[in-house]
Amino acid sequence: MNISLDQTIYPNQQALLPFALTDVLIEYVSENKQPLLHFWQLENTMILGMKDTRIPHLKAGVQTLQQAGYPPVIRSAGGLGVISDPAILNISLIVPRKDQTTDTAYEKMYQLTQLAFPELSITTGEVFDSYCPGTYDLSCGGKKIAGIAQRKIKDGIAIMMYLSVAGPQKERGQIVKDFYSTSLRQKFGQNGYPPVNPASMTTVSTVLKEKLSIAQTKSRFLTAFSQFTKKNIVQTDSHQWLSRENKSAAYKDKLSRMITRNEILDNL
C-alpha cells in the first residue's frame, strides 16, 4: 500500500502549514523508502521563491499583491513566484532519492501527469514568458498548464507541481506581471526574473474544453499514482496522519523554520 494525503483548503493565516508538512513528509519518505502523494491548496496567495525576496523594490511589489487580494508567502523550495487559489491544485510526489538525478525526478512527475490525463498531449520545456519558468514546465499546445519545483532532504525528494485546473489564468498572470514590473521597474524581465506574458499560460479545463473540478483532478492522479507504483493507495487526512505517525513535534519544528523564513515580509 502507498499513501495519499489530503486536507481542506488552507486559509491565508495558515499558508505556511503545507510547506512545513512537506518537509516532514520528505523526511518520512527518506526513513521509510515509501512514496507518498500529497494534495494541498491555498486561498488566493502568491507563493514567492527565495530569489523573489532579493528583488530591489520588494515592498512595492508586495503592496500590489495585497491590493489584488493575493497576500504572499515565501516557500522553502527553489524557483520564483507562482499563484495559488482554490482552482489550482498543488501536488507533491515524494519519493526516495536513491540514484535519481534532478531530471529523472522531474520526469516522474511528468509521467504521472500524463497518466492522469491520457487524452492530452503534454510536453515539457521552458515557457520563458510564463511565471516561474523552468525546464520542466508542462504545456499543452504551447501554453503552460503546470510548473514543477524540487526539494531534497536527506534521502527523500519532493517533486512539487502546481496545476492550473480551472479559473482565470490570464488574471493570475497579470497579477504576477504587476508584481514583477512594480518590484523590478525598468529591469522587468532581466536578471533571471521572467518577462511575464499572461497569454502564455492556460488551464487544463480550457484545454479539455470542459469544466474540470479539483475532486475530479485528484481522482485522476490517485488512479495514476496507483498505476505508477503498481500498488493500491490508502487515502488519509494529512493532520490525522501527523498524529498517527507521532510527527507533531517534527511538524512544529518545520513550521518554526517557515515562520523565520517569512519574517522578511513582516519587516517590510
Active site residues: 132
* Type of residue numbered 82: V
**Grid cell locating 139:** 504545456
At residue 189, what are phi and psi to the nearest 5 degrees?
80, 10
Cα–Cα dist 79/102, whole Å: 14
Residue 195 CA: distances (Å) to CA of 54, 55, 123, 127, 226: 17, 14, 21, 11, 38
Helix 248-261 vs helix 17-32: crossing angle, to nearest 10 = 130
Q: 150 exposed, middle or buried (CB, 10 Å; 0-12, 13-18, 19+)?
A: middle
Residue 9 CA: distances (Å) to CA of 58, 86, 256: 27, 7, 21
Residue 76 three-state SS:
coil
Nearest Cα residue to 268 out of 76, 48, 69: 48
